[in-house]
Each structure stands twice: as C-alpha cells, then as structure tokens.
Amino acid sequence: MYKDFLFKSRAKTTALATAAALVLSGLGGAVSAATYDFRAIANGAGFTDSTNTARPGGEADWNTRVGAGVGILDVGTGISVVGSATTSAQSSILAYFDGGAGLGACSVVTASGQCNPANDDNVGAIGGSANAGDGTFETLLLTFSETVKLTGMQFRAEGHGLFNGSVKINGIATAIAGGAWSGPLIGSVFSFEYIPVASTAGSTNEFYIGTATVSPIPVPAAGVLLFTALAGGAAFGHRRKTRA
C-alpha cells in the first residue's frame, strides 16, 4: 500500500516537473516572426485572410481587397492584422494598397476600389500631395489580433522608392533612413502619422508601409513560476506523507 502511494506521488511530481521544463524550453527556443508584405499584395501577390480564405492581391482599398474588419493572416504564427486610417479632421478613411509602394491611405475610392484622386493614396495631407503644406495629416493604423513585438518596418516614399524622412510612430516623431525602422515596440495597435512639412520640392514626409514584421510574445515567466511551484508543492507534500 505504501509503495503504491509512493509510486503515484512520484509520478505526479514527475509530470508537473516535465510540464515546467516544457514551458522553460519553449521560452528558451526561437520565436517565429510574421512578415506582412503589403507591397507584394498591392503588386498582385495572393494572401490568406483571417477567415482562412485565399484571396488575390492587387491595387485597391482594404475593404475591397481584404474585407471590412477582416485581417491578413500569417499562417505560421496565427497572427492577423487589419489596416485602417483616420485624419486630423477626426474622420475615418480607408487603408489603401498602392502598386509598387505598399499600404497607404485614401479618402475617396471608386466603385472598383481605386483611389480618387490617384495622388491621395499615400499617408500624407488630407486630399493628396497638392495639400502637403496645409497642416492636415493622415494616420495609418495596424491592428493585430494579439499583443506582438513590432521588430521591423519598410517604408516607401511618395515616388515609391525607399523612404527618407520622419514619421510619427505611436505619437513619437521618428527619423527613417533608407526606408528601414527596426523598433522594437510592443502592443496590438500601432499608429503611423504623416508629419506635415512645407510644400516644396523634395521636402515631403508622405509615405507608404511596404512591410511590417512582428513576433508573438512568449508565455509569461509567471507561467513557469506557477508550474515550478506546483511541482515543488507536490514534492513537498510527498516528503511530508513519507515522514508521517
């Protein structure tokens, strides 16, 4: 009888310790990343949406290309992202896929999902490039299905080359050189705001987002502590019963 009790106690302790070890090993391993290539989608590359439906790429607003409130899914991590946009006039506009550039914003789209006027498809002043110096601005939002670490971005310029200028990222003016930004930032919603400049040749901050790379947040260390405490508690209880 005693031997049977001892065997069961040791089995429970071993199982809990193994669970703790698995959590620890998961934290220590490499965390996969998800890269959303908005430029490739705008250029025609297919993608999987957050309803697990295969969708064709191409130039159009988000609602036409992906669906209102529907996200782009990274199948490997299970994380999806929804693009949206607002203006300094407190109005909602549409995130927009522009061929050769990536994800921008547009105030007015045609029935076929094309931006009208065409020069309003980047993140810039309200109404397009002609209003670059009027002090208004647009903000592009990326909303992820869970809390993530944003670890990399590629920005494209008004002319679709690599962006050099300044963008407000989560409200903080950030200098971008060669189109690259490496973060990191942690959250589920990230904002990218146009910073108005004087309307002179070569001095624009209008931009598109070409790509965004995020990593899932690992299981909190508290989970490891809980497993470890449970394993330790089982072992302590076993020792007390053995002595009794």
- Residue 74 and residue 36 in contact, taking contact as beta carbons nearer than 8 Å: yes
Number of domains in the chain: 1
Two tokens, residue 78: 């299970």
In a domain? residue 20: no
In a domain? residue 137: yes
- Give just the sign of the alpha carbon dihedral 62, 66, 71, 77: negative
- Residue 216 and residue 77 in contact, taking contact as beta carbons nearer than 8 Å: yes
In a domain? residue 71: yes
Peptide bond into 117 cis (omega under 30): yes
pLDDT in tens, the chain (244 residues): 444 544 444 444 444 444 444 333 444 445 699 999 999 999 999 999 999 999 999 999 999 999 999 999 999 999 999 999 999 999 999 999 999 999 999 999 999 999 999 989 999 999 888 887 888 999 999 999 999 999 999 999 999 999 999 999 999 999 999 999 998 999 999 999 999 987 655 557 999 999 999 999 987 644 443 444 444 454 444 444 444 5
In a domain? residue 166: yes
Q: What is the DSSP letter of 196?
A: -
In a domain? residue 235: no
In a domain? residue 18: no
Residue 169 DSSP SS3? strand
Rounded-to-integer distance, Cα 72 and Cα 84, Å: 12
In a domain? residue 242: no
Range of the domain at 194: 34-219
Rounded-to-integer distance, Cα 96 and Cα 138, Å: 12
Strands 72-74 and 79-87: antiparallel
In a domain? residue 168: yes
